[in-house]
Amino acid sequence: MVEVLNRQINAEIYSAYLYLSMAAYFEFIGLKGFANWMRVQWQEELKHAMRIYDYVVERGGRVKLYAVNEPPSNWKSPLEAFEAAHNHEVKVTALINELVELALKERDFATYNMLQWFINEQIEEEASTLEVVDKLKLVGDDGKGIFMLDRELAQRQFADEGDKERK
């Protein structure tokens, strides 16, 4: 179980890296609000990684850090980037589900319990990325709509304490 938890730490750090890459993309095309949203997401993912890291340490396991893959660095449009973000979250949900299955199979109820937080979190992660995908589809190529959405996404803040970021 520790081995797969270490793999999940890596997956969460990759997620952070992916979102930081998306932040850099949005920064480059002048959408600071979108970049802000991605920066908050980057911090969220590091928090996810550390949640598992701390759990492994707490249980007396050995944390092992693996190489982090290079994320993509370019997307054709804000919509394509957010669709990629949403697809990524769907994949992460599948990884979490596999961990839950394994924890049950090994009768590792402590890990099973720890993973419940991630199950809830993934519902939110999928929903929040999909929400932006839907809004981007709605505004299409309308510059004013993108501008308004950029202002909205600029409001997102990272909450260091507690489980939810303020939107």
Alpha helices in 106-142 (DSSP H): 109-139
Considering the complex, state which of residue 15 and residue 43 has its C-beta at the smaller distance from ligand FEO.
Answer: 15
| Vertex 167: Cα angle to 128 and 139 (nearest 5) | 60
| Rg of the chain in Å (alpha carbons) | 17
Tell which one of 33, 40, 48, 83 touches ligand FEO (CB under 6 A). Answer: 48
Q: How many residues bind ligand FEO (CB under 6 A)?
A: 7
> How many Cα neighbours within 13 Å face the side chain of 129?
25
Q: Which residues of 52-79 are buried (b: 16+ CB within 10 A; e: fewer)?
A: bbebbeeeeeeeeeeeeeebeeebeebb
76, containing H or E segment: none
User: Residues 57-86 vs ligand FEO: string with x where CB under 6 A?
Assistant: ------------------------------
126 binds ligand FEO (CB under 6 A): no
Tell which one of 6, 12, 35, 53 touches ligand FEO (CB under 6 A). Answer: 12
45 binds ligand FEO (CB under 6 A): yes
43 binds ligand FEO (CB under 6 A): no
Where on the chain is the footprint of ligand FEO (CB under 6 A)? 12, 15, 45, 48, 89, 92, 125
